[in-house]
Amino acid sequence: MPCSVPATSVSCRRRKNPLLSSPPRFAATLDLSKPGEAWAEEYLRRASTGSDAFWRPLGIRRDASALFVAVRWLIGKKGERFSVVTISLTEHAVSWRKFPTAKEAMTALAAIHPKPTEQVSESASSAGNGG
């Protein structure tokens, strides 16, 4: 039998409207017409989504030849939960460095000085030729 007494508080199960929150910032732009970049995007998506995911991304950067992703591992030893993963954009290769905390992994990610991508270097050189 349903209860006719009105609720006095908002249910904690109510979800926020995703349209009201700000959209995510782009962390890295990939050209999916390039085979290496399409492979890296597919690998990152497979590694971080679905029931078979093995990490959750915390932050991402890129340079001309690699994506750098700070991640929290969903599998493995508790003391080895965080890494900065390097995903090559030119070949099928992945490597990582382990960190004890998320803060250290994010600091290491921020300390990476990426080599400029072709698009950035082209726009920088054409801006200098303008006059």
Question: How many domains are contained in the chain?
Answer: 1
Print pLDDT tens along the chain (131 aa): 555 665 565 555 666 655 555 555 556 778 788 888 899 999 999 999 888 889 999 999 988 889 999 999 998 777 779 999 999 999 999 999 999 999 999 999 999 876 665 544 343 334 444 44
With b for 16 or more beta-carbon neighbours within 10 A and e for fewer, the 7-23 pattern comes to eeeeeeeeeeeeeeeee
Regarding pTM above 0.85, the answer is no
In-domain check, residue 101? yes
Residue span of the structural domain in which 108 resides: 54-115
What's the CA gap between 71 and 59, in Å, rounded? 7
Asked if residue 95 is part of any domain, the answer here is: yes
